[in-house]
C-alpha cells in the first residue's frame, strides 16, 4: 500500500479546497493519503488546535514516510514550495499538477526543475487521468528504484 503525501495551498488560499478533496479521493484508490485533511473544508478551524511547531513536526514526519508526493501548484504557496524542495532532498518521486491561467504563471523553480514531473491540466477529470497514469508508472518500477535507490 502506497503512502501518498498530497500538497496543496492552505494559508496561501483555499479557493481550490474542493478540487483538492476530489484529487485526494482519486489518490485514495492507490493508497493512503497521509495529508487527506488538505481537502477538508474545515481545515483551518481544525489546525487552530495545533501549534505551528506541531503542524511542522507532523507534516515533516508524513513527508519522510511518503512513497511519493503529489502537489497541486496552481495556487502559489510558500509551504507547498518548501514541501517540494524538501521532498526532492529526501529523494521522493514528485508529481506537480498545474492549471495554466493568463494571470498566474508557475514559478520557474518548479517548471524549470528537471527532476520534477510537472503536468498541466484544465479539468479535474484530466488531472485524475494524469495521476492514474503517473502512479501506474511509479508502481511499475522496481522497488529499489521506487525507493530512491537507497531503500528508503
Q: Which among 101, 41, 92 has a CA at the least distance from the CA of 70? A: 92
Distance CA 137, CA 135 (A): 5
Quickly state the pLDDT bin for 143 (edges 50, 70, 90): low
DSSP state of 104: B
User: Which pLDDT score, from 0 to 100, does residue 111 have?
Assistant: 93
What pTM does this model have? 0.86
Quickly state the pLDDT bin for 40 (edges 50, 70, 90): low
**pLDDT tens digits along 72-129:** 999 888 999 999 999 999 999 999 999 998 888 899 999 999 999 999 999 999 999 9
Of residues 6 and 40, which shows the higher confidence score? Answer: 6
Packing angle of the helix pair 52-65, 78-89 (nearest 10 deg): 40
Q: Are the C-beta atoms of residues 127 and 97 closer than 8 Å to each other?
A: yes
Q: Is the pLDDT of residue 152 over 80?
A: no
To the nearest 10°, report the CA torsion of 55, 56, 59, 62. -120
**pLDDT tens digits along 51-72:** 889 989 999 999 999 999 999 9
Segment (H or E) for 7 = strand 2-7
All domains of the chain in start order, with CATH? 2-146 (3.40.50.450)
Q: Is the pLDDT of residue 149 over 50?
A: no
Amino acid at each position: 500500500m502506497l503512502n501518498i503525501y498530497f500538497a496543496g495551498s492552505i494559508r496561501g488560499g483555499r479557493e481550490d479546497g474542493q478540487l483538492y478533496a476530489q484529487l485526494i479521493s482519486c489518490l485514495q484508490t492507490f493508497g493512503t493519503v497521509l495529508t487527506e485533511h488538505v481537502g477538508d473544508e474545515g481545515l483551518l478551524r481544525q489546525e487552530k488546535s495545533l501549534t505551528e511547531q506541531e503542524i511542522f513536526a507532523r507534516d515533516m514526519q508524513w513527508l519522510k514516510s511518503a512513497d511519493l508526493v503529489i502537489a497541486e501548484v496552481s495556487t502559489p504557496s510558500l509551504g507547498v514550495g518548501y514541501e517540494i524542495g524538501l521532498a526532492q532532498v529526501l529523494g521522493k518521486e514528485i508529481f506537480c499538477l498545474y492549471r495554466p491561467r493568463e494571470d498566474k504563471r508557475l514559478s520557474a523553480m518548479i517548471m524549470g526543475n528537471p527532476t520534477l514531473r510537472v503536468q498541466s491540466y484544465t479539468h479535474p477529470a484530466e488531472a485524475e487521468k494524469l495521476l492514474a497514469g503517473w502512479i501506474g508508472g511509479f508502481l511499475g518500477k522496481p522497488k529499489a528504484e521506487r525507493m530512491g535507490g537507497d531503500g528508503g
